[in-house]
Structure 1
Amino acid sequence: MKNFISTAALALLLVTRGDCADFIRQIQTINGNTVIYDIPIANDSGTVNSQPISSATATFQLYANVPGANNTTKLVKLDEKATGTYMPTVTLQATSEDPHVPARTRADRPYGMKLKVAGMQTDPAVPDYAKTVRMNRSYALYDAVSYQPNGTAGEYADAFSFHQNGEYQSAVTQRLPVASPTKAVGEESFTVYTRTSSGDVQSQLAKATIRIWPVATAEISGIEQDQLFTSAPKNGTLMVKDIYPGAKIYAQIYKGTESLGTVGKILPSTAVAYSDTVEVPQNQALVIGDLESFVDKDGDYTIEMLTITPFNNGAPERLAYVTFKLKRALAVRAMMGTME
C-alpha cells in the first residue's frame, strides 16, 4: 500500500506542474477503503484496460489537460461513468421550448428536466445504498460580454432522492445568482449520483446541462417619445443587446399611438436574421433611416423593435417602442390692430 500512495503523490505533483499526460481515474472501495488508480492515456483513441475490479462497483473518470493562460495547462474532468453489480440505469435530459441541441433557454422561460430510472434493486439482500439515487442541482455563471464561463460556479442547497424505478418530469425556473434575473447568463446542471459502496464515495450516473441566455433589450435613439417633427425623421438609430441565438429582429412603423400586437410596415434597414447555428447572444447596432416613404399623412406614428424566437409560440415580442408626432404644415396666426 505504501508503493501505491507514493505513486499517487507523484502523479499529483506532475498535475501541479502541468507535465502529466491525460488519464483515466479508476475509483473503487475495497475493504472499506477508497482505492484510486490513475491509468495514463497515450493516444487519442484506442482501448485502455482497467485495473482489476474487486468491489461491487467502480467509477471511471476521464481527465485531460487543456491549454490555459500564459502557456499553462489546466486539468479538466471530461466525463464520468460507473459500473457495478447493483448499478441502476439512469437517463437525464434537459428540455426547452427551443429544440436546439445542446439544450438552451432564455432567462425568463421555464425549462424541463426528464429523469428515467430503471434497474433499481428491490431485493432485500441488496445493500440499502444501492436502492436509491440522488440528484443535485448546480450552476456556472458566464461573462455578460463574452458569454463564456467566468469561473463562478456552485451547487444549490436543494437535492432530491429517488427510491423507485420510473419516469419523472418537472418544470424548472432558473435561479442563477445574479442581480437581474432577466439578464442572467450561464448554465444550470442536474446530476444524478449513486453511492459506490456504503461509504461516502458517490458515482455520477447521468448529467444534463442547459445554457441560459439573457432577455434581449433595445434602445431607440434620435427620436424621443411624443417628439414633434415638421418633416419625416431621418436620424433614428437602434441598439439591440443580448439577441437570442438564432433569433430574427426587425423594426416596424404604423400610424397611431402604440398598441401591442399591431402589424405595421417593416423598416428594411433594421431586419436581421441569425442562423440557428449561432451559439451565443449577439449585439447589433441598426440605422432606422429616412422615414419619408412610411409617413404619408400627418399625425401620430409608432416605431417598435421586435424579435422572433422559439418562445412566445414564435410570435413577435416587443423590445422597445417610441411614438412621435408629425405635423408638416404649421399655421401661424397674427393679430393686427390700430392705434390712435
Structure 2
Amino acid sequence: MNTFRFAFGCLLLGSAGAMAQTGSSFTNFIRQVQLPSGVQWDASVAASGSQQSSLAIDPGGARFELWTVQSLSGATPLLLDSKYVGTYVPIAQVAIRSADPYVTIPRTRVDKPFYVDYSVSGLLSDPSAPAAAKSVNFLRHIQSYGAGGTGIGIDKTQATLFNTSSISSNVTATLTFPVTALVATPQTKVRGEERFSFFSLDDYQSPASQLAAQFIQIWPVADGSISGVTMNQKIRFAMPQVSLTMNDVYPSSTTYAQIYQGPAVLGTVGTVVPGSSLVVNETIPQSRVLTLTNWDRIFDADGQWTMELVTSTPFGVERLAYVTFNLDRTIQVNGNVTTID
C-alpha cells in the first residue's frame, strides 16, 4: 500500500491554488482512480492530515482527486485538484494567483491580470528513457459560462483548448496574463474560467494522465446607475426618492452611495448615504436595486452637491455612476409693513 499525504489548509498534493473547506457544512473526500482499469475508491478526509491510499498502486499508476461538496440538498461536488502517481512519472505543480486573496478558488476580474506559477521536476535526460519520463504537455483551456452564468454544474469537458506546449526540461517559472483570453459582447461582461494543466505522455503502461491542474474564474466589471435625480437638477425642500441600480458587483466588494459638496471629482471621499451600502461576500457576482428615502438630514448646507455610486473591491475603489445637483432649501418671504397713524 502507498501512503499519500494531503494538507488542505496550505497545499494539497503540491498545489497551492485549491483549498478544501474546513466548515461543518462541507464534506471533503479523496477519489483514487486506478489506471488503466478505471477502478475507483473514495475516502472521506478531514481538512488536513495523511493516510494510506485506499488501493495499492498498479503498474499503470493511479490518479488522486480532491473533491469538496457542501452539505446541502442538490449541492454540486467541486473538483479542487488532482495528482497522478506512477512508476517514472515526472512531478508537476501549477498555482494561479491574482490581486484577489480569496483562497477557495482563484478568481479575478476580466480587466485585471493574473499569474500562473508552475514547475516541472523529475524529467530524465537519458535518451534511452521512455518518452513519458522525458517530457510533459502543458495545456491552457478556456470556457465561457455564458451571459449571466455562474459555472455551477458546468461540463468541463466542453472547454476549448486554447493552446498547448511540450516541456522537456525541469523548470520553475511564472506566466503573466494581462487579461483573459475569454471573449464576450461587451468584453467587460465576460464570465468563465481558464484552466492550466500538465499531462503525462501516453505510455504502454497507462494512458496520458493529468499531473496537475488549476483553474481561475473570470468575473465581469460592475456597472450601475442613479435614478430619481437628474444632472444639474435644482432641488427645493425634501430630497426625492432615489434608486441605486448595481449590476455584476464583484463577489468580494462593498458598494455604496456617497455625497460631497461641489462638482464631481474622482477620488473624493464623501459621506456614505444611510441605507445605500451593499456588502457582498459571495462566490459569484451579485446585482441589486436599493431605494433611498428620507435622506435629507445628511445635507448640512445648500449649494452644489454630488452623489456617487462607488464600489470597493480587492482591485481598488471605483466609481460606477454619479450625478451633480443643486440644493436650495432657503425660504424667502416677500412682503411689506404698513402702519396707521
Residues 200 and 176 of structure 1: CA distance in aligned 2, closer, same or farther (over 3 Å): farther
User: How much has 1:41 moved relative to structure 2?
Assistant: 4.1
Deviations 1:71-115 (A, max 9, x none): 9xx999886542333311111001011111121111211111000
User: How much has 1:157 moved relative to structure 2?
Assistant: 3.1
Task: Give the secondary-structure state (helix, strand or coil) at the position aligned to 1:164.
Answer: coil
Deviations 1:125-180 (A, max 9, x none): 21344222211111333354462347474223322222221211011221223222
TM-score, structure 1 normalization: 0.73
**Cα pair 2:131 2:201 within 8 Å, conserved:** no
Aligned to 1:96: 98
Q: Percent identity?
A: 32
Q: Report the structure, 1 or 2, having the larger helix content.
A: 1
Task: Give the secondary-structure state (helix, strand or coil) at the position aligned to 2:188.
Answer: helix
Where does the alignment leave 5 or more consecutive residues of structure 2 unmatched?
1-30, 46-51, 334-341
Q: Residue 106 of structure 1 aligns to which amino acid in structure 2?
A: R
User: How much has 1:326 moved relative to structure 2?
Assistant: 2.6
Mapping of residues 1-340 of structure 1, within 5 Å: 25-27=33-35, 36-39=36-39, 41=41, 48-50=54-56, 52-53=58-59, 57-60=60-63, 80-102=82-104, 103-142=106-145, 144-145=147-148, 147-149=150-152, 151=154, 153-172=158-177, 173-197=179-203, 201-275=207-281, 278-312=282-316, 316-328=317-329
Task: Give the secondary-structure state (helix, strand or coil) at the position aligned to 1:126.
Answer: coil
User: How much has 1:330 moved relative to structure 2?
Assistant: 9.3
Task: Give the secondary-structure state (helix, strand or coil) at the position aligned to 1:97.
Answer: coil
Distance in 2 between residues matched to 1:138 and 1:273, nearest whole Å: 33
**Cα pair 2:219 2:250 within 8 Å, conserved:** yes
User: How much has 1:213 moved relative to structure 2?
Assistant: 1.6
User: How much has 1:325 moved relative to structure 2?
Assistant: 2.3
Distance in 1 between residues matched to 2:136 and 2:331, nearest whole Å: 77
Look at both structures and tell me which one has the larger radius of gyration over its CA atoms: 1
Aligned to 2:18: none
User: How much has 1:285 moved relative to structure 2?
Assistant: 2.0
Aligned to 1:10: none
Distance in 2 between residues matched to 1:242 and 1:75, nearest whole Å: 25
Residues 43 and 129 of structure 1: CA distance in aligned 2, closer, same or farther (over 3 Å): closer
User: How much has 1:61 moved relative to structure 2?
Assistant: 6.9
Aligned length in residues: 289
TM-score, structure 2 normalization: 0.73
Distance in 1 between residues matched to 2:161 and 2:38, nearest whole Å: 30
Deviations 1:221-264 (A, max 9, x none): 11112222223422111011222123112111111121101111
Distance in 1 between residues matched to 2:256 and 2:96, nearest whole Å: 30
Aligned to 1:16: none
Residues 181 and 156 of structure 1: CA distance in aligned 2, closer, same or farther (over 3 Å): farther
Distance in 2 between residues matched to 1:236 and 1:76, nearest whole Å: 41
The CA RMSD measured in Å over matched residues stands at: 3.5
Q: Residue 157 of structure 1 aligns to which amino acid in structure 2?
A: F
**Cα pair 1:142 1:185 within 8 Å, conserved:** yes
**Cα pair 2:261 2:304 within 8 Å, conserved:** yes
Distance in 1 between residues matched to 2:268 and 2:78, nearest whole Å: 51
Task: Give the secondary-structure state (helix, strand or coil) at the position aligned to 1:116.
Answer: strand
Structure 1: 4+ residue segments shifted above 6 A = 61-64, 74-79
